[in-house]
Amino acid sequence: MPIDPQIQAVMDQVAALNLPPHYEVGAVQARANAALRPRAPGPEVASVVDRSVPGPDGDVPVRVYTPEGVGPFPVLVYIHGGGMVIGTLDTSDGSCRHLCDKVGCVVVSVDYRLAPEHTFPAAPEDCYAVTKWVAENSSEIAADPSRIAVGGESAGGNLAAAVALMTRDRGGPTVLLQVLLYPMTSYDFDSASYHENAEGYSLTRTTMMWYWDQYLGSKADVTNPYAIPASSTNLKGVAPAIVLTAEFDPLRDEGEAYAKQLSAAGVTTTCTRYDGVIHGFFGMSAVVDKSKEAVNQVAAALKDAFKG
């Protein structure tokens, strides 16, 4: 189907900024340029607190969103996108607020270390450390350690999938749901969606190749499931998953293929493609109706998972 008119309006607004591709200016300038993109604020929640928690190589900054009511609340560890190269806690602020409000859960947003300054495995180790800290220090954030989910967008979807694997492999903590929003799961740039959507839909094939080049420390990393979840030969026993993909997204096919891998391994998995939308659409719910649908779908899945 054609591009959703509301999505086209967002694309036109971003195009008017006339920002160069990230790969032309390098990581530092790309981060500054990304901060210029408009982001709609999310709803007010009971509290939003920036703090840090111990990580594998120093403290990891996090932002803790707490809903109205009396805890302990279920908790979602949320991981922002940006190709492992750009992105901050502000990147996913709107999404975190919406989910905190709609689900009635604490959301802990992770400001993991970025590449190329910190290549794999820095980012997944940071995210796992935060997830483990949440389980072991839940009383500090009014959270219930028996009701934990992980999720994220794009690179954050990759990292959420990695955390789901790590929690299985390392004996916990237990994760009830992994929310994978148009995730980076594969190191394959020749899928149909990569060629169909190589240019013209915000995220490009060239940019994705550049992101991976910044993130991976060595060629051997492409066979490590914590870097490339689709490379896993054993997905049995990981958390149930909800996977959302976008029609006009280079990452569409790999997200859907990973959902099939999970299902084939006996993992309860829901996969939904949203037509007419582009990569990053989940964070556009202030102005895009299909984004609102996606947020509501994820919120419902989280509520079901947290019911036990």
Catalytic residues: 154, 249, 279
Range 235-264 burial, b when 16+ CB lie within 10 A, else e: beebbbbbbbbbbbbbbbbbbbbbbebbbe
CA distances from 239 to 72, 179, 235, 265 (A): 22, 10, 9, 11
Determine whether 41 is exposed, middle or buried from the number of CB atoms within 10 Å of its CB (0-12, 13-18, 19+): exposed
Residues in contact with 124: Cβ distance below 8 Å, sequence separation at least 6, in sequence order: 159, 162, 163, 166, 226, 227
| 72: preceding bond cis by omega (within 30 degrees) | yes
The terminus-to-terminus CA distance of the chain in angstroms comes to 38
